[in-house]
A and B are shown apart, each in its own frame.
Chain A
Amino acid sequence: MSSLDKAEIQKIAWLARLAIDEGDMAGYSRDLSNILKLVEQMNSIDTTTVDPLAHPLELNARMRPDQVTESNQREKFQACAPAIKDGLYLVPKVID
């Protein structure tokens, strides 16, 4: 498990929506394998009776009244978009 081959790197890259150049493949394979090797030190301790800790202070999500608190700022927010038209975000054609 601690060594990742090219096919696995490609699979991870696709899941992460990253395109990895052929020339960088060996480097990622080496670095990720080393990181997993470091991480596998975790197996030195048995944790079957320990509950996972997701939040350091174990706080619950705070609820608030369902009220409108923000105004519509579509134009301001779209000012930093790469491509828009008539208030819509443009992407390549999805359905033929």
Chain B
Amino acid sequence: MHNHTLTELSALLRSRQISSVELTEHFLRRSEKYNANLNCYITLTADMALAQARSADAALRQGGAGPLTGIPIAHKDIFCTDGIRTSCGSRMLDNFIAPYDATVVARLQQAGMVLLGKTNMDEYAMGSSNENSYYGPVRNPWDQQRVPGGSSGGSAAAVAARLTPIATGTDTGGSIRQPAAMCGITGLKPTYGRVSRYGMIAFASSLDQGGPLARTAADAAMLLTAVAGFDPRDSTSADQAGEDYSAALTRDISGLRIGIPKQYFDANLAAEIKEIITTAVRQLERAGARVSEISLPNTHLSVPVYYVIAPAECSSNLARYDGVRFGYRCDQPQDLADLYCRSRSEGFGREVKRRIMTGTYVLSAGYYDAYYLKAQRLRRLIRDDFHTAFSNVDVIIGPTSPTTAFRLGEKVDDPISMYLNDIYTVSINLAGLPAISIPVGFVNGLPVGMQITGNYFSESRLLNVAHQYQQMTDWHKRMPAGFN
């Protein structure tokens, strides 16, 4: 039952071959059984899920059901869920029961989806390994000694191990695509502003974007169709209607113009990964796509620029955690300064504090121009590189990550090495573009992801290319051993 795609589950539910309660019980059982090892979930919401499943079954009986009605989902614990703890992977919000629903959560509930629980993540979405969670690291289902990637590591591992049919994540510098790549699943970061940020706990507001972590491109399309679209509650929401992202999946890709950035295939990329990506591109070529080399000359600056802009925005956004209105508060504060400083120091973990400090420094008097303004100027150059590229090609293809999943603890004491892992993903967020990561092979039993990037609001095209690739290959059907 856990190997079905969303389309298949939808058909089974509508023809009453299974009920939503049966489906929900099945995934809850699996989630409870395997979570002890994988640590994918921070909170399981079994009772609520079964109540939602019963309502879904009633809607399915009475004919008021949509395509997603009765299908279980897990939300990254960064999305506010009314009445359910929303921890953001932090001690700071360990006791935070959100008083309202994020727009993403509300829309999927409206669509009849059943919430299984809230998934583990790097604290405040800051990390590429899921080792920065207050609730402990998530383990990669393909090799439990390795990280699942981050920051949406819990969502990625849960989908890969079939503990949920689909999950949500957020992506500020690669946090949907990189864990999707490392766990062998499909992850889509939509165009900035495509999916509402309302109720999605803020990390870096000019970069943050929510999206699906799914088994297939077709599944991701179904979810995006339900969540995308204008939201008056998000001031940066794109003022245009969503689309039916499933409509163009089956389109022929002959004539598709693929750009291969030469900077993505330099000495930093492992030879085995390069080989696998090249093979996958050749597959698309055989389906009629035309491939040309392109240049994104400022690629090497994207990590430095990102690690100024993201910490700057984080230091500003996280100023709200003061121990007064919600969240963690230290014991026996001596005075107001002590209340602020100790609540924040005890409530935040190491990486979050590192980023707040970096951001505070680059925004401080005397350094603002040299760091923050400089980074914003370079951000324009990075965006313009993509703009130029998209005048000649439809999509840009490269690796999602320079390596496969690394060992737990391997990079934990070396923030720079961890940051450099984001080389292929952060520039996409700086430019605000959509990109999808799909599984295209394995190195030593570990999944390799390929990133397909498109122009603004070209999600339909990205999903179409990914779907066509998945019609020709079966990498997305591979499942880690030990979860049958």
B315 / chain A contacts, CB cutoff of 8 Å:
16
What's the least CB distance linking B421 to chain A, in Å?
13
CB distance from A53 to the nearest CB of B (A): 4
In the bound complex, residues from chain A placing their C-beta under 8 Å from that of B374 are: 42-43, 47
For residue B411, which residues in chain A have a CB less than 8 angstroms away from its CB?
A: none
* Residue pair A53, B377 in contact (C-beta under 8 Å): yes
Tell me whether A42 and B336 are in contact (CB under 8 A).
Answer: no
B232 in the interface, Cβ–Cβ < 8 Å?
yes
Please measure, in the bound complex, the distance between the C-alpha atom of A42 and the C-alpha atom of B376, giving whole angstroms: 11
B356 at interface (Cβ–Cβ under 8 A)? yes
Cross-interface CB contact of B236 among A9, A18, A59, A92, cutoff 8 Å: A59
Check A64 against B354 for contact (C-beta < 8 Å): no
Closest Cβ of chain A to B353, distance in Å, is 6
B266 contacts partner chain A, Cβ-Cβ < 8 Å: no
In the bound complex, how far is the Cα of B95 from the Cα of A79, in angstroms? 11
Q: Which listed residue, A32, A55, A94, touches B358 by the CB 8 Å rule? A: A32
The secondary-structure label for the interface of chain A is: loop
Instruction: Please give me the residue from chain A that is nearest to B362 by CB atom.
Output: A39
Q: A31-B415, A35-B416, A55-B206 are in contact. Are A83 and B329 (CB under 8 A)?
A: yes
Which of B308, B339, B354 is A28 in contact with, Cβ under 8 Å? B354
A81 CB contacts on chain B under 8 angstroms: 324-326
Q: Is the beta-carbon distance between A50 and B381 smaller than 8 angstroms?
A: yes
CB distance from A21 to the nearest CB of B (A): 8
Interface presence of A45 (CB below 8 A): yes
Q: Is A34 an interface residue (CB 8 A)?
A: yes
B344 proximal to A (CB < 8 A): yes
With A57-B192, A80-B95 known to touch, is A32 a contact of B354 (CB < 8 Å)? yes
| A56–B348 CA distance with the chains assembled, in angstroms | 29
Closest to A43 in B: B374
* A93 lies within 8 A of chain B by Cβ: yes
Given contacts A47-B378, A89-B325, contact A18 B353 (CB under 8 A): yes
A74 vs B283: C-alpha distance when bound (angstroms): 58
Shortest distance between the CB of B344 and any CB in chain A (Å): 5
Contact with A along B293-325 (1 / 0, CB 8 A): 000001011011101100000010001001111
Given A12-B360, A17-B340, A31-B354, A56–B307 Cβ distance below 8 Å? no
Are B341 and A39 in touch, CB under 8 angstroms? no
Q: Does B432 contact A (CB under 8 A)?
A: yes
Give every chain A residue within 8 A of B303 (Cβ-Cβ).
38
Q: Which residues A53-90 have CB closer than 8 A to chain B?
A: 53-57, 59, 61-62, 64, 73, 76-77, 79-83, 89
* A15 located at the interface, meaning its Cβ lies under 8 Å from any Cβ of chain B in the complex: yes
Flag whether B412 is at the interface (Cβ < 8 A).
no
Judge if B475 is at the interface, Cβ distance under 8 Å.
no
Point out the residues of chain B lying under 8 angstroms from A92, CB to CB.
333-336, 338-339
Contact of B54 with A by CB under 8 A: no
Task: From A28, A56, A76, A91, give the contact of B383 (CB < 8 A).
Answer: A56
In the complex, what distance in Å separates the CA atom of A13 from the CA atom of B358?
A: 10
How far is B125's CA from A42's CA once the two chains are assembled, in angstroms? 25
Q: Are B380 and A52 in contact (CB under 8 A)?
A: yes
* Minimum Cβ distance to chain B for residue A84 (Å): 9
Cα-based distance from A53 to B335 in the complex (angstroms): 40
Q: Is A20 an interface residue (CB 8 A)?
A: yes
With A12-B364, A41-B300: A19-B354 Cβ-Cβ less than 8 Å: no
- Across the interface, B193 reaches (CB within 8 A) one of A12, A17, A57, A77, namely A57
In the complex, residue of chain B having the shortest beta-carbon distance to the beta carbon of A56: B432
A88 to B22, CA, bound (A): 47
Q: Give every chain B residue within 8 A of A94 (Cβ-Cβ).
A: 335-336
Known: A35-B416, A44-B301. 15 other contacts (CB 8 A): A12-B360, A14-B341, A15-B364, A16-B344, A17-B344, A18-B345, A34-B416, A45-B298, A45-B378, A56-B206, A80-B99, A82-B323, A83-B329, A89-B324, A92-B333
B residues with a Cβ closer than 8 A to A are 95-97, 99, 192-193, 206, 232, 235-236, 238-239, 298, 300-301, 303-305, 307-308, 315, 319, 322-329, 333-342, 344-345, 348, 353-354, 356-358, 360-362, 364, 370-371, 373-381, 383, 415-416, 419, 430-433, 456
Closest 5 pairs between A and B when the two form their complex, measured CB to CB:
A56-B432, A52-B376, A82-B329, A53-B380, A47-B377
